Amino acid sequence: MTLVRITESTHGVELDLKYATPDNFTGQPVYTRAVCFLRPEAEALLNRAVGLAARQGWRLRVFDAFRPSEAQWKLWNHTPDPDFLADPRRGSPHSRGVAVDLTLVDAASGQALDMGTGFDRFDPLSHHGNPGISPEAERNRLLLMGLMTTADWDFYRNEWWHYQMFNARDRFAVLGDADLDDSMTAP
């Protein structure tokens, strides 16, 4: 397999895999099991980000990582919004196993930092640099962006939670359920 499983115990992250629950913009689970994977190259960058966060007293809470192409189609068919979802015909960095959706958590209290909107809010308030959020939320987004870009991740300007490897579409093929030992999506 070309993907590495990311777990709380092996990677020092919190997992809150939204697409394995109804707590996402579709209102229903998209994945049949709550598992998290990345390509080895992306896992190395995640490990770097985890180390940087820990030194500052934070943890990373991961909402999504590898997303089989079948799941990308489900999301797109529900809400075909190219400002917030990659058209599955082009392929998503998530479906290449080189993107992660996440936030920062205070390691001492377990509280997520205020980012001004929730995960997957398809609204301009989710954009980096939007002046409609509080100064504290903007500062927290900048902290997350600084941490992730220092760890060599690229950001997506429309989603404060989304980070991906640079030039993902040129470097990595789209993967699906067939690339896993056990499917993540129901037929």
Domain limits at 91?
4-179
Sign of the Cα pseudo-torsion (22, 74, 126, 64, in order): positive
Is residue 32 assigned to a domain?
yes
- Domain at 95, CATH number: 3.30.1380.10
pTM as predicted: 0.97
Q: How confident is the model over 127-161, as pLDDT tens digits?
A: 999 999 999 999 999 999 999 999 999 999 999 99
A 10 A CB-CB count for 118 gives 16
Average pLDDT estimate for 30-41: 97
- Residue 151 within a domain: yes
- 143 residue type, one letter: L
Could you list the active site residues? 159
* Each residue's pLDDT tens digit, 76-97: 999 999 999 999 999 999 999 9
Q: Report which of 143, 148, 172 is spatially closest to residue 66, judged by C-alpha positions.
A: 172
Is 186 a domain residue? no
157-181 burial: b if 16+ Cβ within 10 Å, else e: ebbbbbbbbeebeeebebbbbebbe
Number of domains in the chain: 1
3-state DSSP call for residue 147? helix
> Residue 2: pLDDT band by 50, 70, 90 thresholds?
confident
Do the domain assignments include residue 185? no
